Amino acid sequence: MKKKRFVIKVGTSSLTHKNGKLDLERIEKLVRVIANVKNAGHEVVLVSSGAIGAGMGVVGLEERPASTKEKQALAAIGQVGLLAIYDKFFKEYGYNTGQVLLTKFILDEETRYNSARRAFDSMIKYGVVPIVNENDVISTYEIEFGDNDTLSAYVAELVRADLLIVLSDIDGFYDADPRQNKAARIIPIVKKISDEIKSFAGAEGSSRGTGGMKTKLKAADYATRHGIDMVLTNGNSPENIYKIIKGESIGTLFKRK
């Protein structure tokens, strides 16, 4: 078996219940699969959203607040519990975690970019699972316009991943919005992000997260332009990760350029 490096991104809707509280069953399933992928000899970096969602659960909010200030506070509150749960589950399966909070503009600066790359390499060498999120408290711009889909593509490039796996609340990339159009079909392989493909990406995602198909496409564009394949699939069944690693066709594969 050839050792591979995977970046796995998981969205808020795959980690939290509708009321914002953490979905422990889903998180544990995901952790178990990642631990097992590592047991098989691969390397994994996890990019996880869910801090704001988890923060909403902590303070008892059902609706995501509109103000940036509120979102930043919720991210700070939620991140602690989110990482505590991840760390607890990973430890049960024999792995330790490291928290990495990044901002996009930091990765645009060479010295910091290199320092982040070295830190990732060291953590991976220690067998630790780096868990990445945006540093939401200081990333005003990222919270308002950004998203972890794009961040995960940056991270995939930063750590020179073999594959980026984006787990969402949708089975793949459709040729129409499946929530509105019953005839919508998944596109199994996207070789080029053409204008037609872009026109299929409707609007936003769930009320608890930030991304939608547009940000998934942006991430796919960034990853594939940097020589990395990206698979978009549903986070409901983290076991799909095994099949993706085996090369089976699950969800949508965006082919690298």
Residues in touch with ligand GLU (CB under 6 A): 12, 49-53, 75, 133-134, 136, 147-148, 209-211
For 141, the token pair is 């711009």
In whole angstroms, the minimum distance from the beta carbon of 50 to ligand GLU comes to: 5
Which amino acid appears at position 11 of this protein? Answer: G
Nearer to ligand GLU, 14 or 240 (CB): 14
In whole angstroms, the minimum distance from the beta carbon of 136 to ligand GLU comes to: 5
Nearer to ligand GLU, 24 or 138 (CB): 138
Nearer to ligand GLU, 75 or 197 (CB): 75
In whole angstroms, the minimum distance from the beta carbon of 99 to ligand GLU comes to: 12
In whole angstroms, the minimum distance from the beta carbon of 86 to ligand GLU comes to: 12
* 252-254: strand order across its sheet: 97-102, 129-134, 43-48, 5-10, 163-168, 229-234, 252-254, 189-190
Alpha-carbon distances of 176 from 21, 200, 201, rounded to whole Å: 30, 5, 7
Nearer to ligand GLU, 139 or 224 (CB): 139
Residue-wise DSSP of 18-56: TTS-B-HHHHHHHHHHHHHHHHTT-EEEEEE--HHHHHH
Nearer to ligand GLU, 121 or 204 (CB): 204
In whole angstroms, the minimum distance from the beta carbon of 39 to ligand GLU comes to: 27
